Amino acid sequence: MTPDASSYLIISAILFTLGTVGVLVRRDPLIIFMCIELMLNSVNLTFVAFSHYLSSADGLIFVFMIMTVAAAEVVVGLALIVSIFRTREDIDVDQLDEMHG
């Protein structure tokens, strides 16, 4: 017997929370970015679990879409980070505070 669907859901929730916390506490944009990826993938896990549990293909298709989109985001995100890196020596997200108020 496969594990209960709820186990997958709990794991994915934990992963999602981890990712969220990571975004909030880390200052390196790359790490933050990876944490977001973690969140997306935890959602993927949820989709897969539901898909399996419901015997529905929709969830699986959704997972592929998320993966594709995540890849695209990596491209754009890294490009932005590189572009910023060109003008600044170190990249700490907390230094990006020119605009506020």
CB of 3 to other proteins, least distance (A): 16
34 close to 21: Cβ distance less than 8 angstroms: no
Interface with other proteins: number of residues (CB under 8 A): 48
Which helix (H) or strand (E) is 83 found in, with range?
helix 58-87
Q: How far apart are CA 89 and CA 80, in angstroms?
A: 15
Binding site for other proteins (CB under 8 A): 9, 16, 19-20, 23-25, 27, 29, 32-33, 36, 39-40, 42-43, 46-47, 49-50, 53-54, 56, 58-59, 61-62, 65-66, 69, 72-73, 76-77, 79-81, 83-84, 87, 93-94, 96-101
